Amino acid sequence: MTNVFNPPARTLMGPGPSDVNPRILSALARPTIGHLDPQFVAMMDEVKSMLQYAFQTKNALTLPVSAPGSAGMEACFVNLLEPGDKAIVCQNGVFGGRMKENVERCGATAILVQDDWGKPVDPAKLAQALADNPDAKVVAFVHAETSTGVRSDAATLCKLAAENNCLSIVDAVTSVGGIEVAIDAWGADAVYSGTQKCLSCVPGISPVSFSERAIAAIKNRTTKVQSWFLDMELVMGYWGQNTQRAYHHTAPVNTLYALHESLLILEQEGLEAAWARHDLNHKALAAGLEAMGLSFVVDEEYRLPQLNVVTIPDGIDEAAIRQSLLQDYNLEIGAGLGPLAGKVWRIGLMGYACNQTNVLFCLASLEQVLREQGADIVAGSGQSAARAYYQSQQ
């Protein structure tokens, strides 16, 4: 006999999904109404304007794609690229690799600008690639690389793209809500995010935003977008400003209630306050981890507060540590990916999960399991350093 599925109550401090605010979980349970119901349409408009706030943009084409962050990524590439186009992809981790894959599946050519995992995208390398490829149409990069915990300089990279007559595609999946995203100030053309990282909403929705320049490029296409579902001209007819909305697909009604609630929570806290909270808790966690002898992969000035990537000490069975944290503490932290697999842990401090209680809990439990495996750590050192940091900031 199959039973009701009752998930355990975990603390999610990995690369996503992050802990979902209970206010958002209860929003999900509100009654489903029709996706063309006037009240639902009014809520869609509020979601759009709250997304403009979160993205800091006036772009009219700002809306949630009804699928996870990966679909937002695909929406940007399939709409802006046509077969035969050229795109420069900056790769410094897992997600840049997926961008390249998207470019090629559009029948376009990808020019790779590569930086080491754990380093930000080097603007000088991008400038060189732009000079070498004057026919490039698009520049794509990841603002917050979740596989390595590094932040790249989005303002500079978008400016370089615009100066060279390229459209910029920016992955802001992990950034929105955790660090500043400023689409208009950057002059970014196509930006996508996700609900399950610092927005602390359930997974499955991808907010996107397109500039006027990007819309003009979409309207000037000579070929149809190869994806019917992600074709922005069709999606616009459904999410557009005009009151006559054309049926395109059935919106995930309750998931959009959840997104509405999560954006409302962000608006009530305020963007600056949310970024400051991520910064404070990150610095306390970093003080604690470093006091325990763990070292960060990323140089301090490029670290993402919402994703802390630290090297695993020699002689430690890293998978056993994660398993013990999950089983005994209901605490999830992330493993390394690609060249960092088996070498690092990725500790998320995203959205609702980014608080002092979780920082102290994570340090205490990690210290205990590491000491049980024989790590040479002074008992209480991590927590003491983190508490001292919090006290210094009061």
Ligand X SMILES: *Cc1c(COP(=O)(O)O)cnc(C)c1O
Continuous segment of H or E residues that includes residue 139:
strand 138-142
Tell me, letter by letter, the H, E, C secondary structure of 65-88: ECCCHHHHHHHHHHHHCCCCCEEE
Residue with tokens 């932290």: 333
Strand-pairing partners, residue 346, are 309, 334
**Cα–Cα distance, 267 to 303 (Å, whole number):** 25
The conformation of residue 303, written as its DSSP 8-state character, comes to B
Least Å distance, CB 125 to ligand X, is 20
Q: Which of 10, 33, 60, 70 binds ligand X (CB under 6 A)?
A: 70
Least Å distance, CB 69 to ligand X, is 2
List helix spans (H) across 187-317.
212-219, 232-239, 253-269, 271-291
Least Å distance, CB 315 to ligand X, is 30
Residues from 134 through 173 that contact ligand X (CB under 6 A): 142, 146, 171, 173
Least Å distance, CB 104 to ligand X, is 17
Q: Which of 69, 288, 336, 382 binds ligand X (CB under 6 A)?
A: 69
CA atoms within 13 A on the CB side of 22: 2
Decide whether 95 or 186 has the Cβ nearer to ligand X. 95
Burial 240-251 (b: 16+ CB within 10 A, else e): beeeeeeebeeb
Decide whether 28 or 127 has the Cβ nearer to ligand X. 28
Q: Which of 357, 177, 332 is nearest to 281 (CA)?
A: 357
Q: Point out which span in 68-76, 217-225, 287-295, 298-306 binds ligand X (CB under 6 A).
A: 68-76
Decide whether 203 or 339 has the Cβ nearer to ligand X. 203
Residues from 14 through 43 that contact ligand X (CB under 6 A): 16
Contact letters for ligand X, residues 92-111 (x by CB under 6 A): ---x----------------
Q: Which of 203, 237, 240, 380 binds ligand X (CB under 6 A)?
A: 203
**Cα–Cα distance, 365 to 152 (Å, whole number):** 31
Least Å distance, CB 135 to ligand X, is 27
The conformation of residue 108, written as its DSSP 8-state character, comes to P
Decide whether 74 or 367 has the Cβ nearer to ligand X. 74
Q: How many CB atoms lie within 10 A of CB 179?
A: 22
Least Å distance, CB 262 to ligand X, is 14
Decide whether 169 or 292 has the Cβ nearer to ligand X. 169
**Cα–Cα distance, 207 to 52 (Å, whole number):** 10
Q: Which of 11, 21, 92, 174 binds ligand X (CB under 6 A)?
A: 174
Least Å distance, CB 193 to ligand X, is 9
Q: Residue 293 is encoded by which pair of tokens?
A: 């002898």
Q: Which of 41, 53, 60, 68 binds ligand X (CB under 6 A)?
A: 68
Which residues of the shown chain bind ligand X in the complex (CB under 6 A)? Answer: 16, 68-70, 73, 95, 142, 146, 171, 173-174, 194, 196, 203
